[in-house]
Amino acid sequence: MSEKNYLSTSDLQGIIRMATDATLGVSNLVQTMHHQILQPSFLPSYPLKELIRGITDISFFSIKTGTKLIGKGLDNLAGQLDLKLKTDICSEQKEIIRSVLNGIVGDYLVKSDNPLSINMHFRHKGNAFVPFCQNSNRVLSNVNGKILLMVHGLCMQDALWEHKGHNHGEALSEELNYTTIYLNYNSGRHISTNGQSLNLLLEQLVDSWPVQIEDFVIISHSMGGLVSRSALHYGSHEEKKWTKQLKKLIFLGTPHHGAPLERVGNYIDHILENIPWTKPFARLGKIRSAGITDLRYSNLLDEDWGSFDRFKRQGDKRKIVPLPEKVDCYSVAASLGMKKTDLTDKLLGDGIVYPDSALGKHKNPVKNIQFKPDNTSLIYDCSHLELLSKASVFQQIKSWLRN
């Protein structure tokens, strides 16, 4: 078994911290359920109930205190030992699991300083690099002036651009001679937070690129398109050099007006919160990350979420960010239906995103994202993930890049 099949000390510490917090969370949930069953808010209290409640609170206090002490002790012990634990999970599988974890609870991982949190970085040919760092010259050897940046979506990472044996980035590198690099990031953070981080990182990339830049293109899938738009918004306002180098921006299944599944989730939160016996379970829905709740209406800016409770049921409060005037923008939408009139097309879209949202269309004309008619494409009999491998999608991308 190779060293790639080991859990490192930081992996173990991250797992211990998550297990500790999960145990505390379950204890709080059970304690709240006990209170709700024993004393619903609409019934009067009496001494025996208060006595029972006091006894159970002492028990839960002991459980939670013990959990904290044990968790802290194990965390400290793991940090002091140079541990390598064998596992059947290979390196690539670990990174995929880590990416999914970051998408679901990435903001919690950052807040709790958990080593499983992913720091935003670029990758080229499977190797991570940071612009201006010593390793970038080694990783970026034999590159040219045509940059293609691939930005993944929620719970994804660079290796997952390969789908069904095809990778748009690698294929475009071979056929159109692009130097393809990939962005890896914690997709559970707010979209605007990731957008601002990407803005700074792209400026470093352009400043440190080893040869003169002739062409610069970004291809984004799903949430990645929102992160790219956010970065471009902040970069344009700050007059960053990279925004002047960027020539084309291609979106694949990007929910420009939000994803329906998150709006359904928010509605379920609202129902659970307003029924006394199910109210404790509303906490479970609130575990999901800031990145996921941003997808409700596709918040791109800090002000879209900064002054709101992200779990509260409310309408679309975001500021509409127009497409950049000096960058050619293109969008590919997908539908599980075979044609526009199919019921599947109207009910499910691509399984995650509706075609109108991916194409920037909104029932309120003020909120329309104005793509040029020739710069959009709707692919039928295609799921959200199949946008990464469908031959017709690749041919459309290649056609746009050649123009």
Looking at the domain assignment, is residue 306 inside a domain? no
Each residue's pLDDT tens digit, 113-128: 888 899 999 999 888 9
Looking at the domain assignment, is residue 198 inside a domain? yes
3-state secondary structure of 9: helix
Task: Please tell me whether residues 52 and 156 are part of one structural domain.
Answer: no
* CATH number for 181: 3.40.50.1820
Given a cut of 50, whether residue 52 has pLDDT beyond it is no
Looking at the domain assignment, is residue 303 inside a domain? no
Each residue's pLDDT tens digit, 72-93: 554 555 555 555 555 555 677 7
Residues in the chain: 403
- 308: which residues sit within 8 A by CB, 6+ positions away? 314, 317
Each residue's pLDDT tens digit, 328-375: 999 999 999 887 767 676 678 899 999 999 999 999 999 999 899 899
Task: Please tell me whether residues 211 and 355 are part of one structural domain.
Answer: yes
Looking at the domain assignment, is residue 307 inside a domain? no
3-state secondary structure of 361: coil
Q: How many domains does the chain have?
A: 2
Task: Please tell me whether residues 80 and 132 are part of one structural domain.
Answer: no
Which structure tokens are listed for 200? 């700074």
Task: Please tell me whether residues 230 and 182 are part of one structural domain.
Answer: yes
Q: Which domain holds residue 19?
A: 3-88
Task: Please tell me whether residues 135 and 244 are part of one structural domain.
Answer: yes
Residue type, 341: T
